Amino acid sequence: MRLSRREQGKKASAQAIAVILFHVADIKFAIDAAEVDEIRNLDGLAPLSSARAHPQLTKVKYSFQRQRTMYFAVDAGLHFGTSPATPTRIMVLRKSPVAVLVDKIDRMSELPPLRPLPAAFHGQEKKWYAGIGMRNEEVIPVVNPSAFLTKAEIMVLQRMMSVEPGNQMAAGAASA
């Protein structure tokens, strides 16, 4: 079947996935660019000490207000269990009040269609990754944005914020 140039363009764009490449502890990851709302510096982050009480939530290091919503910043190094990371940027996710602390944003790029994680991997990584991107024989794990914090974990954090002194208004905004 012969495709017109326009159809070919459509087909190519349907196959490729636009991603943002980022680094955590010298490891390169990718995230679907459509899942990221904003990339910003670390200004305005408030330490979230109360999350330390929940072992599952110690990776949530900061909170911040954005567009009248309370966001929770997850340390990607702690999430993935890598060596200590030195975050310089946060990626604000589009579909949840979650942001991800990363060491470095590399650039935007395109990856061919994702491949599934090999079945031999059966640990937490099955949730962490949406798939594997491959370019010039380089393997790049593409993160699953919903794995950084589950809906239940976000609710716990919002509840935590509502009882933390001085945060009543913020939590109200977050749950609004």
Partner 1 sequence: MNLGHPESGLGREQRFVLFPLGKKRFALPAERVSELSKPDRLQTFPHTTRLLTGVLVRRGKIIPVCDLAPVLLGSESPKRKFFLIASSQLDGHWETTAIPVSGECELISGIARHSTGRLPAYVSGLLSLADEIVQIIDLEKLVAMEGKA
Task: Return residues touching partner 1 (CB under 8 A).
Answer: 27, 29, 80-82, 115, 118-125, 128, 132, 134, 137-139, 141
Indicate the residue among 78 and 105 with the shorter CB distance to partner 1. 78
Least distance in angstroms from the C-beta of 74 to partner 1: 14
Least distance in angstroms from the C-beta of 123 to partner 1: 3
Indicate the residue among 121 and 169 with the shorter CB distance to partner 1. 121
The token pair at 94 is 């589009």
The token pair at 114 is 């994702």
Indicate the residue among 62 and 80 with the shorter CB distance to partner 1. 80
CA–CA gap between residue 36 and residue 123 (Å, rounded): 25
Indicate the residue among 20 and 170 with the shorter CB distance to partner 1. 20
Least distance in angstroms from the C-beta of 77 to partner 1: 9
| Contact predicate 71/63, CB 8 Å | yes
Q: How many CB atoms lie within 10 A of CB 156?
A: 17
Least distance in angstroms from the C-beta of 4 to partner 1: 29
CA–CA gap between residue 123 and residue 130 (Å, rounded): 14
CA–CA gap between residue 61 and residue 42 (Å, rounded): 12
Phi-psi region of 61 (alpha: psi -120 to 50; beta: other; left: phi over 0): alpha
Least distance in angstroms from the C-beta of 26 to partner 1: 11
CA–CA gap between residue 38 and residue 132 (Å, rounded): 23
Indicate the residue among 33 and 132 with the shorter CB distance to partner 1. 132
